[in-house]
Chains A and B, each alone.
Chain A
Amino acid sequence: EPEVTQTPSHQVTQMGQEVILRCVPISNHLYFYWYRQILGQKVEFLVSFYNNEISEKSEIFDDQFSVERPDGSNFTLKIRSTKLEDSAMYFCASTPYATNEKLFFGSGTQLSVL
């Protein structure tokens, strides 16, 4: 069964450094998302992406965040100048449906900012 792939599974960085989280969505999906989950908290929406553009973004997704689909398969989340509070599990998701239905999630990247 096709799956969403995320790399790395764990990322440790120093506060103020930039990180890039990578995702390979399922190949025939057109809608892509980043969510994050702070330990013990709920899964929170960051951004949705379609047709090489951001469709929606949350208040969390401020100027330190950016997303990109650099080629036909990868989808990346860049966090500039990381802060301690950025420590979380970051999930990529994709779906073939336009209405946020039936999201397929990757296994996540655990980001630790020291």
Chain B
Amino acid sequence: SQKIEQNSEALNIQEGKTATLTCNYTNYSPAYLQWYRQDPGRGPVFLLLIRENEKEKRKERLKVTFDTTLKQSLFHITASQPADSATYLCALGGYSTLTFGKGTMLLVSP
């Protein structure tokens, strides 16, 4: 069956460092992969989308890589800030439904 795995443990980093979150998947051939941010009690907020034929995508302090051979995406936040503390969800889809991973909580300490 299709499976999306994200680090289940929270990631704790110091302000100013780069946070790297991982999304692995199995039994999937997604046309794209998306990353969302979710704050407690709120709906997910779209951050970035990367397509299967793209290796890397950037937006301000965010960078996403997508390796369809490894079936893995890495999500980087550079110069992290306490305001970046949230749960980050990866989601895979194509022309069918969008399926979310469970998310990784990021905690950025001042």
Contact = CB atoms under 8 A, between A and B. Distances in A.
A108 B43 contact: yes
Interface residues of A, number: 24
A108 B42 contact: yes
B33 to A, nearest CB: 11
Nearest to A97: B49
B103 A105 contact: no
Nearest to B100: A43
Interface stretch (B16-24, B54-62, B70-78, B89-97): B89-97
A45 B41 CA distance: 18
A17 interface: no
Interface string B22-58: 0000000001101000100111111001000000000
Contacts of A110: 41
A56 to B, nearest CB: 6
A105 B38 CA distance: 10
B44 A105 contact: yes
Interface in A18-56: 35, 41-45, 48, 56
Contacts of B97: 45, 48, 56, 58, 100
Interface string A85-113: 00001010100000111111111101000
B98 A107 contact: no
A56 B96 contact: yes
6 contacts: A42-B100, A43-B89, A45-B97, A93-B43, A102-B46, A105-B44
Q: Which 6 A-B pairs have the closest CB atoms?
A: A105-B43, A43-B100, A100-B98, A42-B102, A100-B93, A45-B97
